[in-house]
């Protein structure tokens, strides 16, 4: 991929683990004849802010598929507890890395504009943010009570106050609830290198373990997470049923 102006030191890393309790071999699952991981790599590579997009995997076939298509893949330890740890293994071998975007390997419709937005926020010299992520307004009331839809509360200066699977903020005053914004967290992250290092070197935190949400570790460490509002939500593929729904949508 040709390096873009202003992209020096900016990398996109896609953790792609073969094993999955709900969907083994998910990165290689075909979508219109093309493995899912290639959908992610191709769309991420359209982001103008990234110097390079790298797939971090633990499986030979995933690496081979990515490299046959002309992209870069790196083998990482099969023992990593999370995608963030897999990303960090790759980043340690990139001496010029300054900003890292962690791109989910199971979001085949990832929007490259969102990736550029994350990078631009971290390159803003008027801020000292450690991380950046995305959120979108919740318009379907059913999502508020769905624990699979992660909610985020944001401060007036645009920083994350808390993430939860519960419907937050809780509105005791029903009249006030009509004007209270609710936001769904979108699991894309941009990190400054120092923040990613601090995150992976820390033990899982109490709140993280309670809610099973990694980003709470960052908040408990005191890291500043800026939240950017996005107008669309990516399509995450967690199960074969999710993949079937995406294939149906693409045909319409």
Q: List pLDDT tens digits, range 85-108.
A: 999 999 999 999 999 999 999 899
Q: Quick one: average pLDDT of 49-58?
A: 96
Q: Is the distance from CB of 70 to CB of 2 less than 8 angstroms?
A: no
Give the separation between CA 210 and CA 206, rounded to whole angstroms. Answer: 6
Phi, psi (deg, nearest 5) at residue 12: -105, 130
Phi, psi (deg, nearest 5) at residue 229: -80, 130
Give the separation between CA 143 and CA 124, rounded to whole angstroms. Answer: 33
pLDDT of 203-246, one tens digit each?
999 999 999 999 999 999 999 999 999 987 777 877 888 888 88
Give the separation between CA 190 and CA 121, rounded to whole angstroms. Answer: 9
Give the separation between CA 99 and CA 193, rounded to whole angstroms. Answer: 6
Give the separation between CA 104 and CA 168, rounded to whole angstroms. Answer: 25
| Domains, the chain, ordered by start | 7-123 (3.90.550.10), 127-186+201-233 (3.90.550.10)
């Amino acid at each position: 991929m040709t390096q873009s102006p202003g992209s020096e030191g900016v990398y996109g890393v896609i953790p792609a683990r073969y094993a999955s309790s709900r969907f083994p071999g998910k990165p290689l699952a075909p979508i219109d004849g093309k493995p899912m991981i290639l959908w992610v790599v191709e769309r991420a590579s359209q982001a103008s802010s990234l110097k390079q997009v790298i797939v971090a995997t633990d499986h030979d076939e995933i690496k081979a598929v990515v490299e046959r298509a002309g992209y870069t893949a790196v083998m990482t330890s099969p023992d990593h507890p999370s995608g963030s740890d897999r990303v960090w293994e790759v980043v340690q071998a990139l001496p010029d890395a300054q900003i890292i975007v962690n791109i989910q390997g199971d979001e085949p419709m990832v929007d490259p504009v969102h990736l550029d937005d994350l990078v631009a926020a971290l390159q803003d010299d008027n801020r000292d943010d450690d991380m950046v992520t995305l959120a979108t307004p919740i318009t379907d009331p059913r999502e508020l009570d769905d624990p699979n839809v992660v909610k985020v509360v944001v401060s007036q200066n645009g920083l994350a106050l808390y993430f939860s699977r519960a419907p937050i903020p809780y509105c005791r005053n029903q009249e006030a609830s009509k004007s209270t914004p609710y936001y769904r967290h979108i699991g894309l992250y941009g990190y400054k290198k120092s923040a990613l290092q601090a995150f992976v070197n820390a033990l899982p935190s109490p709140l993280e373990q309670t809610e099973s949400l990694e980003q709470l570790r960052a908040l408990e460490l005191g890291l500043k997470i800026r939240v950017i509002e996005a107008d669309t939500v990516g399509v995450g593929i967690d199960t074969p049923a999710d993949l079937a729904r995406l294939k149906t949508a693409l045909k319409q």
